[in-house]
Chain A
Amino acid sequence: MKTLTTTLLLALTVVASAQQNLPKHEAMDYGRFLSASIDNAQGKNPFEQKGGAANKAVVVNLGDRAGGFAFDTETLRGAGGWTGGWLRFKGVTFDGGHGPNPGPAQNAKMHFETNPGPGWSADGSFKDPRPLPNGPEGVMSKIPLGPLPREHSKYLGLFLNGDRVIFHYSVGGAELLESAVLETVAGVPVVSRSFTVTKGELDAYVCLQDLPYGGTIALNDTGAVVTMKFPAPQPPPAPKGKKKAAPTEAPKAPADEVTAVAGRGLPSGSAFVQKDSSLSLKVKASAGTSFKVSFAHGAVGQDADLRKAAAGSSGAADLTAFTKGGPARWTQTVVTETAFGEADQTKQVEFLRQQLAGESDATAKQALEDRIKEALNAPYLVDNLNVPLENPYHSWIRIGGIDFYKDGRIAFSTWSGDVWVGTPSDAKFSKVIWKRHATGLFHALGLCIVDDVLFVLGRDQITRLHDLNGDGEADRYENFNNDVQVTSNFHEFTFDLQTDAQGNFYFLKGGPVNPGGRGWGPLSDHHGAIFKVSPDGRKFEVHATGIRAPNGMGVGPNGEISNGDNQGTWVPADYIHFSKAGDFIEVPDLAHRAQAPTKYSPHLCWIPYDVDNSNGGQTWVTSKQWGPLEGRMLYLSYGKSSLFGVLQERVGDVSQGGVVKFPLKFTTGIMRGRFHPGDGQLYVAGLKGWQSNGVKDGAIHRVRYTGKSVTMQDRLHVTKDGITIGFTGALDRKSATDLQNWSIEQYNYKYSSEYGSADYKVSKPGEQGTDPVAVKSVRLSDDGKEVFLEIPGLQPVMQMRIKMSLKAVDGTRVPEEVSNTINIVPDAKGSDYRSFAK
């Protein structure tokens, strides 16, 4: 195994990128396949129901970007096969664009393509058994979504071996393997679909080719000759808002093209069938049978050559040989050195000392000295594990999920579809050896490890990864569960992957936000929901509905299910919510109920826009080695690259509380957190992919407890007499009891379909602004750890901001704001909420 140091690698990369000078999404080696929602060769998305578009495609890279084969994992359909390049990398994960999806390469020659619908059919009708999404007319998708019923056909996953990608699925009672291959026969490019039946009796029709834009199909003794028509290309869209597009000449339709289709090793009784503008193959085969269908493509008039080439491709191979794992492909590892927080601390102190040296003002000097003392006494330091941002595969490292193996190794997944595993050099993670483990996943924005097995959430499915031959690379990408419905909307991300104590999996999915941010695309049954998947992957349930763009959730030690959400339509500001099965949360358009709710469900708290503008996940402190916060929940902000403690109380079954920011800095938009099973420290990870103040494409930081004293807010209670705030350490009595050091304001938001909300006065509803809240007196408990702010007449309010300028007994500053929500004002204090694993 070759190992490169980052320095050497950097040099290599510079050379490589100077040669290529490609944008990151073009330069990246995606491996042997890429999973994505794809548009057809004309750029039409699956809603148009034309040609090779698919909501969940695995696009195989044929002949090192010489061609492609798109397999629709929901319908087990060979959606398209082409040459002339692999993919055009369009879309939010690639060029950042809003709207278009990847599709066949710019000038791809389509050997075949099929319209969306079942890829196999027992009776040859190819009738789609899936119901349309359930909901009001006009807003729901007009095409069926999600996988076909299990008894019809089911995607089981794929195997990798060398350059081959082997799909594994069932059709009726049979199981089979399928793999596409590109050959050149007598100078003619031939794309073939190879099949091996591995279980049961296959007796069905497989859809081979549709003519979405017209053409003819002529059957012959070896197969068929298909003449395809294509539409004129679309004129480019008008530039945004500002100027009108200059009129252009109407583009002309391109010339017709021809594909010759031929079978190889077809079982007896097989027959090519033409029905309207569809070509299928009727096939009956027992386990152990292998056969192949080849598609040779060229221009009109080349029919004879094409027929010869199609019939002359190599024979059908037994695909089971490819299911045992192949040679390692990502053999170059990357070693990085961890940057320990002490270095940043030193740098910050030096910077402050420089300022101090140039300062003559006594008060300013004192303030700087306090800052230096604070920096030196920091109870938490942030280490940077230095993920392999530079790597030989130009993989774009934007991290969407992390977790740990029992032995302390770390794995992360990326938005561009990779999984990497990091082996630490020692218990401190002084160095990490990073190896690429899996590729081609569909927006891998969630990852968890259960019993040392990797589960990755993609937009299409939860994939269970298997390393069949122990070479550190996944050879089998098992479809653990793909029941979630997906449309081709650019913004309907799925996020996070968490498990509860029973082993159930949870993840989130946003609504299909339109380009630009307003309103929704056509809806599925699953838009804007939290999902629960049983430990065996067989059962998929909607846990709760009505969330917009929820980049992260939490599952507590006792099954507490929380989610964050992102300001936008019906979401006036970010919030933290605890849900129970069947709950509606926030966005009525995504409620999936007969009657759209008119009220949101009360949240634990709302979060002011300048505190957090784009949420991440929630992580419960399950470690005793991380200071005094065990049992507390943490909240991550993607947009502000910040970590927050969450203060919670329960009053009966009502939750309320707020957040307080840790005075820590992160280099990327952090959105996933895990505690390490060994060192008990918090590891947070995230990316820079949409609006954030994060500056690194991706990062993993460790928030390490230094053992110094922690004084920060951890409890919050509201009663009719006032507010009690608890602290983890004792406060300096003088500063805490000075009323001048406290300031509270409050306001409400407007719950509406508009994008976000302004602040509205409580005193004058409808008028923008905030209201001050007068604190009558302040008392500090004898132990110095609890402050009571006397505020008679408190009322429920959506947003309160309690600002304070306090010192701990050791002279360090205490976090300066609690942003909270009051849902209920009880007579007596509710219970402080912490959760510990049983």
Chain B
Amino acid sequence: MTLRSLLTFLLAPLAAAAAEPAQGLHAIFEAGGRTDHRVDRMLALQVPAGQPATPWLPAGPFKAHWEGTVEAPVRGIFTLWAESSGKFRLTVNGQAVLEGAGTKSVQLNKGPNAIVAEFESDGKADAHLRAGWASRDFPREAFPPTSLAHASDEVLTQALRLREGRALFANLNCAACHQDAKLPAKGTGMPEYGQNAPLLADLGAKFDRVWLTRWILDPASFRPHSLMPAALNGPDAEQQAADLAAMLTQGATPASGPVADPALAPAGASLFANLGCVGCHRQPDAQGDDALGRIPLAHVRAKWRDAALMDYLLDPAKNWPAARMPHFRLTEEEASQLTAYLLTKAPATKLTAKEGDAARGAGLIVAAGCLNCHAGMPATTQPPLAKTVTAGAKGCLAPDAAARGKAPAYDLSAGERDALLAFLQSDVAAGLAADVAAEFATRNLKALNCAACHAVDGRGSVWKKVDEECRQLRSLLPPKEHVEGEPVPDAPVPALTWQGEKLKTGWMTEFIAGRVEDKPRWWLIGVMPGFSQHAAGMALGLGQQHGFGPKDPEDPKPDPARIAVGEKLLGMDGGFNCITCHDVGDKEATAVFEAPGINLALSAERLRKGHFHRWLLNPNRLDPETKMPKFADGDGLTQLTEHFNGKAEDQFEAIREYLNSLKKK
């Protein structure tokens, strides 16, 4: 037995006893004498000058330090690289590898290799760092999130708890009731902070009064983890809820329009599967618990008036700009089909409620504090923030009804209450005053449930997991022979892992916002819905996570000779046959067969340069299932030796220049 294997043998039980390492690196930031911890998906950052590196730190000079491991598939030589705007140092397995930007080849062991990275910014210019590796098997890339891991410790756990508490404080709109002069003004600081709850308009036209009463009494019974608390309690709660509902629905005429037509339900069921609704929501007739934690819809029939549901589906953010439900740009026909499906499949639950008094409700709506959140009125409730900070686990944060007293009941887990308490014990005002886009993106990947439809960092999407459910939903329509050129249900939805590196910020913003008219991947059965409220922050933040700012460097002046070569390389005759599968502007692909590609005329506005090259050099490395061929070998040479001596990178750059020239036409 060698010494190493002996050590491995002896240490193995110890390693097994420790907690399973989590993905990403433990990041430690220091600025202005303060320290902050978080987990970073990537060994990368982009901090604009004048902005802090994390929400808890002052802007200006800062230091960042990452630690964790990078996992190699087998022992071998890897070329590590970094680009950095400041001081940088990378240590692998205890040995200094990089001092500053550059490359260095080292042997990595199979499995985890300890890495420590240190970065320092003088705060004068944008701080920028990207680091990664390359090997003979794959081209230069940032360390993939799936290869990075870290062990947790109490300091990091506390920092993450603080972040969770901060997000809850903002999303639950705690400051609407618990006010404090020191808090930032609404519309400043953390974007989620200070958002009003839905506008209480036309509720009678939209909702059933009885349902509304039950909702006011106990929102979480319909919608687990509802942001809205059960604000009424005590013996009069039922009557008060009825009064509020009476007031809110008073004098309303139900929205007029088509009534849910059961004949449209099968088409609606298909849409429910094909648009990915099924990734976030359970089917309306689903029973029992859902292992995937999707939002139930069993109440839709009790809640909605037919035409109003259709209106809502057509514009979910109409009365609530901060709505998490995205805009699917449905046609009226689609919306009526979905409505029919939802309303005919949901059970006809018989709810009961007392009759209410609208006049009493009118008084209550102010007194109970409803308008604090729903209209952004000055708080009519108590106590102010300063008092809650010292109160501890009382009121809203009490673990049980007895301790809660008259305070509203939120559907919070013990961990969430702890997180909120932790945040309250920090400098709340300072914590809300600033935000960084990279963290906004992290929070909202979760809040907007991007993973419902997209794989990210090696974890599959919910949508993919419920394949069988989708198949059943689609089977309600009579089978239809697939016609070439029509979307297919099982084409893979792009993973989010590298989008921050791949897409230019401007285009990504438009795409997330749902403002890109033509679907780039026209063969996907779903559509990317619009998250207009979050788009800019998400796009900026995802870019920052990968070390990119909002502006890509200007390309050098186009060279007509290279453009001509690029055009040739795109073609069939002496080229890579890109045009077989890809449209180029108005020119249709010549022979798409199960592998349609994105219109290449979009490349210039969509793709960052580095990712364009990385994709072409080794498409399967980025997407093991892609049908895009790989033309370059491990040495970076292609079989087309007529141009640039066969150097792949030069050839691909010529293609890029040609594609850039299309944009300007």
Contact = CB atoms under 8 A, between A and B. Distances in A.
Interface of A: 24, 92, 95-99, 239-242, 347-348, 351-352, 361, 363-364, 367, 371, 514-519, 568, 609-610, 613, 639-641, 665-667, 688, 690-696, 738-743, 754-756, 758-759, 767-769, 803-805, 816
Contacts of A742: 74, 110
Query: How large, as a class, is the contact surface on chain B?
Result: 35 or more
Contact of A741 (B75, B593, B630): B75
B185 interface: no
Given A364-B77, A695-B631, A768-B464, 14 more contacts: A96-B590, A97-B590, A239-B485, A351-B637, A516-B486, A610-B624, A690-B591, A693-B629, A695-B575, A695-B639, A740-B110, A755-B594, A758-B625, A803-B74
A98 B522 contact: no
A806 B207 CA distance: 69
Given A348-B635, A613-B627, A696-B639, A24 B482 contact: no
B624 A98 contact: no
Contacts of B576: 693, 695
Interface in B640-659: 640-641, 645-646
B620 interface: yes
Contacts of B486: 240-241, 516
Contacts of A568: 594
Contact of A805 (B75, B488, B574): B75
Contacts of A361: 103-105
Contact of A740 (B75, B631, B637): B75
Nearest to B76: A805
Interface string B592-621: 111100000000000000000000000010
Interface in B484-540: 484-488, 490, 518-519, 522-523
B275 to A, nearest CB: 16
A97 B482 CA distance: 17
B580 interface: yes
A361 B134 CA distance: 14
A692 B630 CA distance: 9
Given A695-B575, A738-B75, A516 B487 contact: no
A688 B574 CA distance: 11
B580 A691 contact: yes
B591 A665 contact: no
B639 A667 contact: yes
Contacts of B523: 241
Contacts of B646: 347
Among B590, B629, B635, chain A packs the most CB atoms within 10 A around the CB of B629
11 contacts: A352-B635, A363-B106, A514-B481, A516-B484, A518-B594, A519-B481, A609-B625, A640-B629, A690-B591, A742-B110, A769-B460
- A-B CB proximity, top 9 nearest: A240-B485, A517-B594, A516-B484, A693-B629, A96-B591, A515-B484, A364-B105, A363-B105, A740-B75
A166 B292 CA distance: 71
A595 B145 CA distance: 48
B464 A517 contact: no
A92 B591 contact: yes
Contacts of A692: 577, 629
Given A241-B487, A518-B488, A363 B629 contact: no
B663 to A, nearest CB: 20
B639 A514 contact: no
B573 interface: yes
B518 A242 contact: yes
A804 B438 CA distance: 38
Contact of A695 (B483, B624, B640): B640
B74 A805 contact: yes
Contacts of B519: 242
Contacts of B485: 239-241, 516
B105 A516 contact: no
A27 to B, nearest CB: 11
A743 B464 CA distance: 28
A610 B111 CA distance: 23
Contacts of B106: 363
A95 B590 contact: yes
B588 interface: yes
Interface string B66-94: 00000001111101000000000000000
Given A348-B637, A363-B105, A695-B638, A517 B593 contact: yes
Contacts of B624: 609-610, 759
Contact of A691 (B487, B581, B631): B581
Contacts of A514: 481-482, 484
B158 interface: no
A173 to B, nearest CB: 46
Contacts of A741: 74-76, 110
Given A364-B105, A755-B490, A768-B460, A98 B580 contact: no
Interface string B386-407: 0000000000000000000000
B518 to A, nearest CB: 7
Interface in B460-488: 460, 464, 481-488
A774 to B, nearest CB: 11
Given A609-B625, A691-B595, A241 B74 contact: no
B633 interface: yes
B157 interface: no
B103 A98 contact: no
Contact of A363 (B107, B109, B137): B107
A514 B595 CA distance: 14
Nearest to B455: A768
Contacts of B629: 639-640, 691-693
Among B485, B588, B590, B638, chain A packs the most CB atoms within 10 A around the CB of B485
B60 to A, nearest CB: 35
A682 B208 CA distance: 78
A804 B484 contact: no
Contact of B631 (A240, A516, A693, A769): A693
A661 to B, nearest CB: 12
Contacts of B484: 98-99, 240, 514-516
Contact of A24 (B103, B111, B522, B573): B573
A754 B107 contact: no
Contacts of A738: 75
B110 A518 contact: no
Contacts of B635: 348, 351-352, 371
Interface in B93-138: 103-107, 109-111, 136-137
A769 B574 CA distance: 38
Contacts of B103: 361, 364
Nearest to A609: B625
A758 B490 CA distance: 11
B422 to A, nearest CB: 35
B625 A516 contact: no
A348 B137 CA distance: 17
Contact of B74 (A99, A371, A743): A743
A803 B522 CA distance: 37
Contacts of B627: 613, 691
Given A514-B484, A695-B638, A665 B105 contact: no
Nearest to A691: B595
B570 to A, nearest CB: 12
A803 B76 CA distance: 12
